[in-house]
């Protein structure tokens, strides 16, 4: 489910996750000082999927499938960018070379393909609610209103979509 250690405090379910791109090891130019891996503590119950799972409305497999879809969506960087991407290196002058296997763009492309395959496996009628709740983080009420659905219809359709994702990812 979550990477790192889990901590429960009060009514909140917390997990420590490493920040993307961070790895423990020596820094360039300073081999004597090791680089510390940074992490962030997140409240898993803040996501709509976590909220539904915490109340017993989603199974562990459905939650895992939804989190996997969301992770691919984030890795593919499909969300709207607010600012310039400062991680990309400028192109070299006059040098052409094959992409390095650890090139982040290759991982982004692979994540985009996995995301597209998962959404296609869910089907055209179910992918709308999946994207709104799982990827965009909309609450059920907002997603139902945006899609013009009656109250509580979204949860039923979301569980059907997540069941298809469970089958697609072969979870459980």
- Predicted confidence (pLDDT) per residue in 78-137, tens digit: 766 556 656 665 555 555 555 555 666 788 899 899 999 999 999 998 999 999 999 999
- Predicted confidence (pLDDT) per residue in 39-71, tens digit: 666 565 578 999 899 889 999 999 999 999 999
- In which residue are the tokens 């993307």 written? 20
Question: So where are the chain's domains?
Answer: 42-78+107-172
And the tokens for 75? 């890795």
Cα end-to-end span (Å), the chain: 13
Q: What value, to the nearest 5°, has the Cα angle with vertex 112 and ends 85 and 60?
A: 110
CB 44 within 8 A of CB 15: yes
User: Which of the four pLDDT bands, split at 50, 70 and 90, describes residue 172?
Assistant: confident
Residue 10 pLDDT > 90: no
And the tokens for 169? 């990812």
Flag whether the pTM goes above 0.85: no
3-state secondary structure of 84: coil
3-state secondary structure of 68: helix
3-state secondary structure of 158: helix
């Amino acid at each position: 489910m979550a990477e790192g250690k889990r901590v429960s405090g009060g009514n909140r379910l917390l997990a420590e996750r490493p920040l993307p791109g961070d790895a423990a090891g020596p820094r360039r130019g300073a081999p004597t000082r090791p680089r510390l891996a940074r992490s962030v503590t997140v409240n898993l119950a803040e996501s709509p999927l976590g909220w539904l799972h915490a109340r017993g409305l989603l199974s562990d497999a459905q939650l895992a499938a939804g989190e996997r879809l969301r992770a691919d969506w984030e890795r593919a960087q499909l969300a709207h960018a607010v600012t310039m991407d400062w991680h990309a290196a400028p192109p070299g002058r006059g040098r052409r070379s094959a992409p390095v296997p650890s090139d982040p763009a290759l991982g982004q492309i692979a994540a985009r393909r996995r995301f597209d395959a998962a959404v296609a496996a869910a089907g055209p009628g179910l992918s709308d609610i999946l994207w709104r709740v799982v990827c965009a983080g909309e609450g059920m009420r907002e997603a139902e209103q945006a899609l013009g659905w009656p109250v509580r219809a979204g949860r039923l359709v979301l569980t059907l979509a997540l069941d298809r994702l469970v089958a697609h990812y072969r979870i459980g």
